[in-house]
């Protein structure tokens, strides 16, 4: 079908599915990733932020051996090795004025939530970080109020009084994937003062419709953050040049009267296991750091000297990134979720 030129499009020129549906007069379906904690408080919009590479190669999960092939390439600069850029079509996802979510799939249960306060302590678990070199080159992800609309924005923050649990699906991943994750998570923990706990491996497969509450698998608590490699057959948003998705799912906390992050995902495209080592670490690690930044609440910034820029050669957190991470770690406790 041919669509008018004035419709929103991704950087690759594609018209997003929700735009196609609206253009055809079809009501978009809600998604279970935004399961409301109650009828009174609908869930916060959840928009995993994509990472894009024009060098991506298509490959199916079945072909992955889990071994990174080391190639020697001379005279390649960092810009060529890390030409990641980000599309904006997902970050614009939001509740519409009519209360209909522009999502991908319909939920199977919009009422299931865990008992509030799992793992919540009375005080923060780790000391608040100290910023050595403050820099204002950062941006904080915000959540539009589902009732007030875009005019009222809530910052996306995690409770510093409970650990952020995460699980890892190692299918198709390099042998040291879990260790690489632990190192990157430790960097984010030190920068935010948020505690992270590795809850172990999981067989849960990456999915767009991931439920944030899975008592049959994880018990009476919010599902841990899922970190995994995936391909475009599992996650359609990893098609074309997108090589990573990351973000948090939030729930309304009546104690702070804010939406607080309760779980999330970090998905890395399986083709990243083919990329070169960069200064002693696999190429996917810089993407992992970037997506972990989104997970804890950092947005993109228009500064190519920061890791959270939508493109550029940076592979580690810089002064602006670290300032933003420290701010995100100074939230209130959230015993109500």
Q: Per-residue confidence at 125, pLDDT binned at 50, 70, 90?
A: very high
| 265-269, 273-277, 316-320, 332-336: range with lowest mean pLDDT | 273-277
pTM of model > 0.85: no
Q: Per-residue confidence at 199, pLDDT binned at 50, 70, 90?
A: very high
- Label residue 32 left, alpha or beta by phi (over 0 means left) and psi (-120 to 50 means alpha): alpha
Q: Which residue has the higher pLDDT, 275 or 38?
A: 275
Q: How far is CA 302 from CA 28, 58, 239, 264, 311, in A?
A: 31, 29, 25, 24, 9
What pLDDT shows up at residue 19? Answer: 46
Average pLDDT over residues 143-148: 76
Is residue 128 scored above 70 in pLDDT? yes
Q: Return the bridge partners of 225, or none.
A: 166
pLDDT digits (tens, 9 = 90+) for 46-93: 557 665 544 454 443 432 322 222 222 212 222 222 222 222 222 222
Is residue 305 scored above 90 in pLDDT? yes
Residue (of 291, 266, 211, 162) closest to 43 by Cα position: 211
Average pLDDT over residues 139-143: 92
**d(C-alpha 187, C-alpha 250), whole Å:** 23
Query: How far from each other are the two terminal CA atoms of the chain, in whole angstroms?
Result: 44
Question: Using only C-alpha atoms, what is the Rg of the chain?
Answer: 19
Residues across the chain = 337
What pLDDT shows up at residue 336? Answer: 94
| 106-110, 155-159, 174-178, 183-187: range with lowest mean pLDDT | 106-110
Give the other-Cβ count within 10 Å of 332's Cβ. 15
pLDDT digits (tens, 9 = 90+) for 253-281: 888 888 899 999 999 999 888 877 777 88
What pLDDT shows up at residue 51? Answer: 54
What pLDDT shows up at residue 220? Answer: 95
Sign of CA dihedral 234, 237, 243, 248: negative
| 47-56, 128-137, 145-154, 238-247: range with lowest mean pLDDT | 47-56
**d(C-alpha 265, C-alpha 270), whole Å:** 15
β pairing state of 242-253 and 49-52: antiparallel
Is residue 238 scored above 50 in pLDDT? yes
Domains (ranges, CATH) in the chain? 17-328 (3.40.390.10)
Tokens at 67, concatenated: 């071994």
Percent of the chain scoring above 90 in pLDDT:
49
Give the other-Cβ count within 10 Å of 328's Cβ. 27
Is residue 162 scored above 90 in pLDDT? yes
| 8-22, 62-76, 156-170: range with lowest mean pLDDT | 62-76
Tokens at 182, concatenated: 């632990």
Average pLDDT, the chain: 74
What pLDDT shows up at residue 277? Answer: 77
Contact 203, 169 (CB under 8 A): yes
What pLDDT shows up at residue 310? Answer: 80
Average pLDDT over residues 191-208: 96
β pairing state of 258-269 and 225-230: parallel
What pLDDT shows up at residue 242? Answer: 80
Residue (of 264, 263, 253) closest to 332 by Cα position: 253
Q: Return the bridge partners of 213, or none.
A: 222
**d(C-alpha 160, C-alpha 333), whole Å:** 6
What pLDDT shows up at residue 7? Answer: 53
Q: Per-residue confidence at 197, pLDDT binned at 50, 70, 90?
A: very high
Query: What is the three-class DSSP state of 270?
Result: helix
């Amino acid at each position: 079908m041919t669509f008018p030129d004035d419709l929103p499009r991704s950087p690759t020129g594609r018209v997003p599915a929700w735009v196609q549906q609206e253009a055809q007069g079809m009501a978009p379906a809600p998604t279970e990733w935004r399961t409301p904690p109650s009828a009174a408080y609908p869930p916060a919009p959840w928009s995993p932020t994509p990472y894009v590479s024009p060098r991506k190669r298509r490959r199916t999960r079945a072909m992955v051996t889990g071994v990174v092939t080391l190639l020697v390439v001379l005279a390649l600069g960092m810009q060529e090795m890390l030409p990641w850029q980000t599309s904006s079509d997902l970050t614009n996802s939001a509740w519409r004025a009519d209360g209909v979510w522009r999502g991908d799939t319909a939920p199977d249960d919009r009422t299931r939530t865990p008992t509030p306060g799992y793992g919540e302590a009375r005080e923060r678990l780790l000391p608040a970080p100290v910023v050595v070199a403050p820099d204002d080159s950062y941006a904080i992800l915000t959540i539009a109020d589902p009732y007030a609309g875009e005019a009222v924005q809530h910052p996306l923050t995690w409770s510093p009084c409970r650990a952020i649990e995460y699980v890892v699906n190692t299918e198709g991943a390099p042998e040291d994937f879990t260790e690489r994750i632990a190192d990157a998570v430790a960097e984010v923990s030190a920068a935010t003062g948020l505690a992270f706990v590795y809850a172990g491996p999981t067989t849960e497969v990456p999915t767009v419709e991931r439920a944030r509450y899975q008592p049959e698998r994880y018990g009476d608590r919010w599902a841990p953050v899922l970190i995994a490699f995936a391909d475009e057959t599992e996650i359609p948003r990893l098609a074309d040049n997108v090589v990573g998705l990351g973000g948090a799912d939030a729930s309304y906390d009546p104690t702070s009267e804010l939406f607080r992050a309760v779980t999330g995902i970090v998905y890395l495209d399986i083709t990243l296991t083919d990329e070169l080592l960069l200064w002693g670490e696999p190429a996917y690690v810089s993407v992992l750091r970037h997506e972990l930044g989104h997970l804890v609440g950092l947005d993109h910034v228009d500064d190519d000297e920061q890791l959270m820029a939508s493109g550029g050669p940076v592979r580690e957190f810089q002064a602006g990134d670290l300032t933003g991470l420290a701010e995100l770690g100074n939230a209130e406790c959230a015993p109500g979720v």
